[in-house]
Structure 1
Amino acid sequence: MRLLITGGAGFIGSHIADRALANGWDVAVLDDLSSGRRENVPDGATFFQTDIRDKSAVEAAFAEFRPTAVSHQAAQASVAISVREPQLDAAINITGSLNILTTSVAHKVERIVFASTGGAIYGEVPEGIRAGTDFNPVPISPYACSKFAVEKYLECFRQEHGLNYTVLRYGNVYGPRQDPHGEAGVVAIFCNRILAGESIAVNAKREVGDAGCIRDYVFIDDVAKANIAALEGRIPDQILNVGTGSETTTRQLADILQQTLKRTIEVLPNEKRAGDIERSLLNADRLVELLGPVATINDGLAATADWFEQRAKSAQSAT
């Protein structure tokens, strides 16, 4: 397989690249490095520093590398930025994605896997319910709208051009290499602050002092594994949730990380953050049925905390 990964210098994309290379695939990474890091691109991968909004540059990369499959991870991923700059969000997430889709068709790409969002698309999930792929989508942010739009474009391209696709709707992905900047980086933020002995804040779910919002935190290894399975055609579903089906509050996250890192720091209550979904939980039964058990929050956080701790030690020794 010749796999091109958009956003492959980022947190999720670089893990997919690692697995694909381990499988013996030819891998190319296409990334503008606006949020990704050049050092995340693994040895052995061809690298194109390209913005997906630049159609001619995208076409040049496809023509040079000749991919047979595409993993489309590149995105503007901040809900806050999408609200503040909806045109920017649409330019990257919709127009940029259309550049990838049209170029994939032109170069006869056999399959595309698209990184979508479970939490943002499903919106508020009521108590006692896990959102399955049949759950009514409620994309209330421009970011969620753009992701949902691309899902619909993919179906159009399947019907019009025969482009095979798989949509993976992620929960809150965490793990080694996660960037602390941005809304999805709470695990990285907490790890860094705990290791530095600094206080952390728990944004309220409803009232200051509560345990915080409920999320479905999914470990990066399970996300990368799902992407590889989809690229290999082992996921027959056109849309699949990638989560755990287990809920974790922000306070639980803070407590587990303190226990894992064997450090105690001050945990401060904070106001509810505007626009935060109170409860997001995915039904991941189909993922488990297809690919086997996913990592528990304790095991995933242990591996993640160890990576951040080793990185902090390396940084200290370097100085």
Structure 2
Amino acid sequence: MKVLVTGGAGFIGSHIVDALLDSHYEVVVVDNLVTGHIKNIHPSVRFYQLDVRRDLDDLFGKEKPDYVIHQAGQVSVSQSLIDPLYDCEENIIGTLSILQACVRHHVKKMVFASTAAIYGNPVYLPVDEGHPLHPISFYGLTKWHAEKCIQLFSEAHQLDYTILRYANVYGPRQDARGEAGAIAIFIEKVIKGERPVLFGDGKQTRDFVYVKDVARANVAALTNGNQEILNVGTGQESSLEEVIGQLGEISGKNIQPILSPERAGDIRSSVLNNERLQLKLNRFPFYSLKDGLVETVKFYEQEFLTGLRG
């Protein structure tokens, strides 16, 4: 079976590619390399440097994928507020382009990367899939619209789908310069002997889910969870203060973060209910926060040493 992964050179997409190869799928990657990196592309996959907003009929006609995992998109909340038109083009127009190609070329199923940002400020915790949707950024809004486009295509053309709403994903290959990479930013600071910055009192909570678990969920969704919307999170709340403490234990350093004023618009607490995910995708254990951090720290330490040698 052949799977086309859009955004397969990116942080999450490249881990999905690895998980697919481990499960013996044939993989094709499409990425425009705006945020993805050539070094993330596995040497055994066929790679096309293309923008998903363009006509993809030639590519789909040539490769004839059985499944599509659609990871490509604009993922920065702050950037979406600065340039909502670009956000709309990447997350809505890009998704429509993929959907049309899927229908024309008889793709069996699309798995879509959505986000917990569509929920906005939680009304209750943990947030389940029935929680009211009230996005407070154009990023969350465009992902919500993309979800509705997928559902309409499914009704009109019998295209199967699974929509996965990600919590706060972290792990190796995450860009420490990106807004969404809080853990990557913390680790980079610690490795360089610098003090990480905490906005607010550090007691804000998030559901930090390890990227390999997200990748496994995507692979499982190819053959499970048909026409479902599923939260991808651990169901565990962790504070930023706790993350800093665990990084201190792992690195053996006494980390004293710099406290800065809380940023306007930041959500105070967030955690996703993952019971439906476990039911529909066949229950599997998640990495603990500590185990995921250990692997992530090792990756960035190696990257830092490689950079010094280079």
Q: TM-score, normalised by structure 1?
A: 0.93
| 1:52 and 1:96 in contact (8 A); partners too | yes
1:181 CA drift (Å):
2.1
Aligned to 2:88: 90
Aligned to 1:101: 99
| 1:195 and 1:263 in contact (8 A); partners too | no
1:26 CA drift (Å):
1.2
Q: TM-score, normalised by structure 2?
A: 0.96
| 2:6 and 2:13 in contact (8 A); partners too | yes
1:77 CA drift (Å):
0.3
The percentage of counterpart residues that share the same residue type is: 41
Deviations 1:130-151 (CA, angstroms, capped at 9, x unpaired): 0000111111211101001111
- Distance, in Å, in 1 between the alignment partners of 2:86 and 2:227 is 31
Aligned to 1:227: 218
| 1:30 and 1:47 in contact (8 A); partners too | yes
Unaligned runs of 5+ in 1: 205-209
Aligned to 1:258: 248
Aligned to 1:12: 12
SS of the equivalent of 2:231 reads strand
- Alignment map for 1:138-177 (pairs within 5 Å): 138-177=134-173
Q: Which runs of 4+ in 1 moved over 3 A?
A: none
Q: Is structure 2 residue 42 aligned with structure 1 residue 39?
A: no
Unaligned runs of 5+ in 2: none
- Alignment map for 1:1-319 (pairs within 5 Å): 1-55=1-55, 58-118=56-116, 120-126=117-123, 129-204=125-200, 210-231=201-222, 233-236=223-226, 238-289=228-279, 290-316=282-308, 318-319=309-310
| 1:194 and 1:264 in contact (8 A); partners too | no
Amino acid at match of 2:63: F
- Distance, in Å, in 2 between the alignment partners of 1:259 and 1:9 is 32
What is the aligned length?
A: 308
| 2:190 and 2:255 in contact (8 A); partners too | yes
| 1:193 and 1:199 in contact (8 A); partners too | yes
1:266 CA drift (Å):
2.9
- Distance, in Å, in 2 between the alignment partners of 1:46 and 1:164 is 25
1:212 CA drift (Å):
4.1
Amino acid at match of 2:47: F
